[in-house]
């Protein structure tokens, strides 16, 4: 009996120490004591969605080409029956200005958007009036992280 009591005390102390250690580890990981993880909002996804919203508005208002800040230092552009290749941020604004200047926007919105991964992308239908005719094209845009901000790295119109 005398040896049983110290063993029980040792067992209880050992179990209590393990529980305290577990609580401390969860606190260090940012978990709550009850074991639920509290995740901060993913600001990366919020930033990506914001860039795509600005691009949509810029295309609709014909102001997309007003600022080279939207674009990476090298942007791949592919316009069916038009320009194709890598352009600097300043050059891509001129290429897109040339394309959009002869097309009066009717509607545009991104219908598919992926904000996950290292190259988020979006695609949507751009409807416009050109030479009195209503036409539409598909626009595909992908982003890359450059100097801690999301910028356009690819702009396709087909």
- Residue-wise pLDDT tens digits, 37-63: 544 445 566 799 999 999 999 999 988
User: Structure pTM?
Assistant: 0.72
Averaged pLDDT score across all residues of the chain? 81
| Whether residue 54 is found in the same domain as residue 86 | yes
Mean pLDDT of 114-120: 92
Residue 141, pLDDT > 70, answer yes
| Whether residue 24 is found in the same domain as residue 63 | no
Percent of the chain exceeding pLDDT 90 equals 63
Task: Kindly report, residue by residue over 64-99, the tens digit of the pLDDT.
Answer: 888 899 999 999 999 998 999 999 999 999 999 999
pLDDT value for 44: 63
| Whether residue 11 is found in the same domain as residue 35 | yes
Q: How many domains does the chain have?
A: 2
Query: Structural domain of residue 66, as residue ranges?
Result: 43-157
pLDDT value for 53: 95
Residue 4, pLDDT > 50, answer no
pLDDT value for 121: 98
Distance CA 65, CA 96 (A): 7
């Amino acid at each position: 009996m005398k040896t049983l009591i110290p063993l029980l005390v040792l067992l209880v102390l050992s179990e209590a120490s393990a529980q305290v250690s577990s609580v401390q580890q969860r606190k260090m990981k940012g978990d709550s004591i009850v074991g639920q993880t509290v995740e901060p909002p993913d600001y990366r996804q919020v930033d990506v969605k914001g860039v795509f919203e600005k691009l949509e508005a810029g295309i609709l208002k014909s102001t997309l080409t007003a600022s080279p800040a939207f674009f990476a230092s090298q942007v791949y552009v592919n316009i069916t029956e038009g320009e194709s290749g890598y352009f600097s941020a300043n050059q891509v604004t001129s290429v897109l200005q040339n394309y959009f200047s002869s097309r009066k926007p009717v509607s545009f919105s991104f219908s598919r958007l992926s904000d996950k991964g290292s190259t988020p992308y979006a695609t949507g239908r751009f409807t416009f009036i050109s030479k009195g005719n209503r036409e539409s094209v598909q626009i595909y845009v992908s982003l890359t992280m450059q100097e801690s901000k999301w910028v356009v790295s690819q702009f396709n119109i087909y």
